Amino acid sequence: MSRKGVVGLLCVLSAAAGALLLPAGQAVSQELRQVFVTNWPDVMAIQGEVSVRGPIPQGVQVRLEDIVVPPVDPSDTQRLVDAGTLDTKGCSQIVLSLAGQIRGENLKTGTVGAILLPDEDPVRRAFAERGEMHFQLQVEAPSPQGPSPFFASNQPSYPIGFTRYRVLLYNTTAKSVTANLYAYLTTR
């Protein structure tokens, strides 16, 4: 057999093998199917009925709104405004947004910011005893220029390393502000 004949035969055999390996073209049924759940003791113990209704959410937005923040420098750790804690359990990424309004006419440029510190004993102790901010996440907005009293930050994104964060706010302008912190938490 010639070389062309061997190559031609190999092409025909390859095409036939490919056709045999292709799916038969059956449509996937929309019927309910029986599913078996395997328990992995101590890792993922599943009890009772398992069901998923609708799409599984990939993110959630948490709002801390209308927080009054008087003028306080971020280095004055004893006077930072404590806005509470943020639960990040089960999430791997966070996008922070800070917006608000200056109360009255702003005569001094500055920034309004939020610092998120892990709510863990060693981090809390370093902050309380020495004013040190370990593993902080931060967002800040410049004070508005011109007649508008409104301000807004960029939207930094951070990986999440802890299940809870304490939220502290500061304001380096000359007037009090009303601040709103938005945290968008995602699982990817």
CATH (residue range 59-186): 2.60.120
CB 114 within 8 A of CB 98: yes
Closest to 57 measured CA to CA, from 161, 159, 187, 160: 187
Closest to 168 measured CA to CA, from 91, 92, 76, 101: 76
pLDDT of residue 150: 93
pLDDT of residue 29: 59
pTM of the model: 0.70
What CA–CA distance (Å, rounded) separates 31 from 55? 18
Question: Using alpha carbons only, what angle is made at residue 35 by residues 31 and 37, rounded to the nearest 5 degrees?
Answer: 160
DSSP-assigned letters across all residues of 117-184:
EE--HHHHHHHHHH---TT-EEEEEEPP-SS--EEE----EEE--SSEEEEEEEE-SSS-EEEEEEEE
* Dihedral angle, C-alpha 75, 81, 85, 88, nearest 10 °: -50
Query: What is the per-residue pLDDT across 58-93, written as a single tens digit (0 to 9) for each?
Result: 899 999 999 999 999 999 999 999 999 999 999 999
pLDDT of residue 57: 72
pLDDT of residue 148: 84
Residues of the chain under the 70 pLDDT cut: 1, 5-11, 13, 16-30, 37-45, 145-146
pLDDT of residue 53: 78
Q: Residue 180 has which token pair?
A: 């709103």
